[in-house]
Chains A and B, each alone.
Chain A
Amino acid sequence: MTGTVETGLGQRTRRLLAAWAWVVFAFLYVPIVVLVVFSFNASARVNIWGGFSLAWYGEALSNEVITSAIRVSLIVAAVSTAVSVVLGTAVALALDRYRFKGRRALDGTIYLPIVIPDITMAVMLLVFFAEAFKFIDSFGPRFTLGISTVALSHIAFNISFVCVVVRARLDQFDRTLEEAARDLYATGWQTFRRVTLPLIMPGIAAGGLLALTLSLDDVVISAFVAGPGSTTLPVYVFSSIRRGVTPELNAISTLMLTASITLVLGALALQRRRASASQQTQVL
């Protein structure tokens, strides 16, 4: 058996479906591939192929504004991922298995940052920081928008994403495994450490990966809450695109593409190795 699921469609419909699928794949990949190819273009004119060259990469990476933006992006991504994984997992555990005061309110609120559009989240945080600084300034210390406000904002949306992903994992968790551990003399903490945590680890890792990607991806919120000198790479690219398309931008974009694809494939490889026994390929 070929393994193709029998769905009762005619031969012609099936051929059309297959052709369509490959058209869609082309639609998804052609723009990216063209972009990557042209990042190696020696010509400064974006529409003429002038031979292979790494010149634009050299140019981009020797630009101090760009290297600084890369540094900011990496720091923000690392910090916001670390914090949101811890806080988000804790919230997911609390929501999944405890009843406490304010649980319903938290349960409702946790989804909001995912649902509302980036632009509203951005202006909300902009207004918030402006008011907060006004308030703090009245006590003396002076704060301004900068790398810390970017990181704080990223954590604000990442907690929710981590929480949702971890909770999905907890949802399918077999609680009898914990009961078995308790039956075998494990204390509550040992049970968590030795049984629960390892089993929800793929969920936590997926949540962390999502947080990392979202942080490296974000442009709208960062554009509003970043101050001078704390521009992230996407914000830099965004404002550069408005000024016009340059081959240098192709090079930076290719670097960003490589980073995100490496992240996904690395995560998939990790997952595959872990899941090779249970042979379940589940992304995210």
Chain B
Amino acid sequence: MTEAVAAVEIDGVTKRFGDVVAVDNVDLAIDDGEFFALLGPSGCGKTTTLRMIAGLDLPTTGSLRIFGEEVGMAPPDRRPVNTVFQAYALFPHMSVRQNIEFGLRMRRVKGPELSQRVAEAIAMVRLAGMEDRRPDQLSGGQQQRVALARALVNQPKVLLLDEPLGALDLKLRQEMQQELKALQRTVGITFVFVTHDQEEALAMSERIGVMSEGRLLQVGTPREIYETPASRFVADFIGRTNLLEASVESAGAVRLANGARIEAETSMAAGSEVAVSLRPERARLQPRGAASAEGSSLDGDVRDITYLGHAVVYEVAVGPMSVEVRSEGEVGQPFAVGDEVTVNWDRGAAAVVAD
């Protein structure tokens, strides 16, 4: 693929509200046709970033380009993007059809083109027959689809989605995840969506940008983000993990706080304070002494067992530390509380992360 121009290019953008820095010097390029997630906890600046792309907030400093065109200071009605709002922001005094027509009418689209595009949008989100209802006569899932149609009917170059599934219950949310992915493949445009739900981000997007306290910490594919987190925050925020305090001994080994030496790849200088991120499902539990020589291991005692049906979670006390081990497909009841065990994992299963 040739170096195409990015769908959204954010260059050194900072947004301040009074004394509060909501977005702190963010650089980000989102490719054409990409399904991109901005992920982070409440107040991390992800929504503000989205709103700046939409033009609903203007950046304090920095540059923002959509398909190469500088739009940083343009009002929202002059940008080739549309938004699916959190809780949808459907106009309550208008019917489904009037809601969907709104953007086209504002751009003076009339006559057969208007009705044809609206009909297509309604068909696309499977809302035929609902055109004359008011938003409050629709279910949550239907409202969500109206919001999608209302944005997509304008044929934006980029679709922005602000916590699009947050207001739906779990089952509907999983359905809509699939639907949104399918929809994005159909229309082929860039989707940028904001979520605080890491599972949703992993399941839906091609790439994820993780934010915290206004900063963009890491951008990568779901696999990169999960398996090689760049920092302690990312490791902790994405999925469950054990973070073991350690310091670097050499390029191939770190020493844990309890003195144990562990083999792990790191490029950080010897002596650096780091943490070892060990995913619970990557660790194995074995009776003490039966450990294989492969990889690394820690000795401890089983302190607690939680049965989840498809998995069993063990909490293992390793000195003052506590390590969670998740075991799936276990047969019988191999361990009990108080058992002396060894936690063991393959080389490369644990990642060394900076603070």
Contact = CB atoms under 8 A, between A and B. Distances in A.
Touching chains A and B, CB distance < 8 Å: yes
Interface in A4-55: 6, 8
B20 A6 contact: no
A237 to B, nearest CB: 47
Nearest to B57: A6
A283 interface: no
A140 to B, nearest CB: 65
A12 to B, nearest CB: 14
Contacts of A2: 17-18
Nearest to A1: B17
B56 A6 contact: yes
Interface string B21-57: 0100000000000000000000000000000000011
A1 B56 contact: no
B299 to A, nearest CB: 51
A24 to B, nearest CB: 27
Contacts of A8: 76
Contacts, number: 9
B162 to A, nearest CB: 14
Contacts of A6: 56-57
Nearest to A6: B56
A217 to B, nearest CB: 38
Nearest to A10: B75
B16 to A, nearest CB: 9
A2 B18 CA distance: 6
B204 to A, nearest CB: 28
B73 to A, nearest CB: 12
A8 B54 CA distance: 13
Q: Which of A1, A2, A6, A8 has the most CB of B within 10 A?
A: A1
A60 to B, nearest CB: 51
B279 to A, nearest CB: 37
A8 B57 CA distance: 10
Contacts of B20: 1
Contacts of B18: 1-2
Interface in A146-174: none
A37 B134 CA distance: 56
A2 B22 CA distance: 13
A6 B76 CA distance: 13
A1 B47 CA distance: 14
A151 B341 CA distance: 87
Nearest to B77: A8
B88 to A, nearest CB: 17
A92 B231 CA distance: 61
A1 B18 CA distance: 5
B119 to A, nearest CB: 29
B59 to A, nearest CB: 15
A192 to B, nearest CB: 36
A268 to B, nearest CB: 28
A37 B22 CA distance: 49
Contacts of B57: 6
Contacts of B17: 1-2
B74 to A, nearest CB: 14
A280 to B, nearest CB: 23
Contacts of B76: 8
A2 B56 CA distance: 16
B22 to A, nearest CB: 8
A1 B15 CA distance: 10
Given A1-B22, A8-B76, 7 more contacts: A1-B17, A1-B18, A1-B20, A2-B17, A2-B18, A6-B56, A6-B57
9 contacts: A1-B17, A1-B18, A1-B20, A1-B22, A2-B17, A2-B18, A6-B56, A6-B57, A8-B76
Pairs A-B, 4 closest by C-beta atoms: A1-B17, A2-B18, A1-B18, A1-B20
Interface of B: 17-18, 20, 22, 56-57, 76
